[in-house]
């Protein structure tokens, strides 16, 4: 076997490795519909670990509008809680940002429209007990989107800046206590 053949074999093995991340993720995703709330959380934890191993190409091949639309449908049909959807999408958005992936999938999905609607509705209510929900929605929305209407940013940015400021203040208090 010459050097070029070995490089081709290594590239083939890398491609197989890439496909295995997507395949594992999609297999677990297809099982979510038949799981209860707790088992879904466990599977989503496994899926989040798989997302960590994905590269840009793999991420883009999995997180297409169809996947986001399927998540939307599952939430709508109460086959997945919004809490579990956020758990999955928040991690996907975080990894998208870390990997610097440019993807249009979320922007073209029903899930984005659902998040926008929920963000606007929750912002109007201004209920303290729903503050975590709007924070989670904004985190998902901003990390998964590639463009933002002014109205969305005017709600999400102050919300996320408030969270960051609170975290910074909590860190300062912890350091003072030590």
Q: Residue 175 has which token pair?
A: 């350091």
State the pLDDT at residue 127. Answer: 66
- Cα within 13 Å of Cα(148), Cβ side: 18
Which one is predicted more confidently, 10 or 61?
A: 61
Q: What are the C-alpha distances in Å from 34 to residues 30, 39, 78, 95?
A: 8, 9, 11, 26
**Does the pLDDT value for residue 3 go beyond 70?**
no
**Does the pLDDT value for residue 75 go beyond 70?**
yes
Q: Give the integer Cα–Cα distance in Å for 48 and 44.
A: 6
Mean pLDDT calculated for residue range 129-150: 85
Mean pLDDT calculated for residue range 125-132: 74
Q: Give the integer Cα–Cα distance in Å for 4 and 19.
A: 22
pTM: 0.78
pLDDT tens-place string over residues 83-125:
999 999 999 999 999 989 888 899 999 999 999 999 988 888 8
């Amino acid at each position: 076997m010459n050097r070029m053949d070995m490089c081709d074999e290594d590239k083939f093995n890398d491609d197989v490795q890439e496909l295995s991340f997507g395949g594992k993720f999609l297999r677990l995703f297809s099982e979510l519909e038949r799981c209860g709330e707790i088992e879904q959380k466990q599977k989503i934890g496994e899926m989040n670990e798989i997302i960590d191993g994905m590269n840009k190409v793999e991420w883009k091949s999995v997180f297409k509008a169809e996947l986001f639309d399927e998540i939307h449908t599952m939430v709508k049909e109460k086959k997945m809680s919004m809490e579990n959807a956020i758990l999955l999408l928040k991690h996907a958005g975080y990894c998208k940002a870390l990997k610097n992936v440019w993807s249009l999938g979320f922007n073209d999905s029903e899930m984005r429209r659902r998040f926008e609607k929920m963000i606007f509705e929750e912002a109007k209510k201004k209920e303290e007990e729903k503050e975590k929900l709007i924070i989670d929605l904004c985190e998902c929305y901003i990390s998964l989107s590639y463009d933002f209407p002014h109205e969305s940013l005017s709600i999400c940015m102050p919300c996320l800046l408030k969270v960051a400021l609170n975290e910074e203040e909590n860190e300062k208090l912890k350091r003072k206590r030590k």
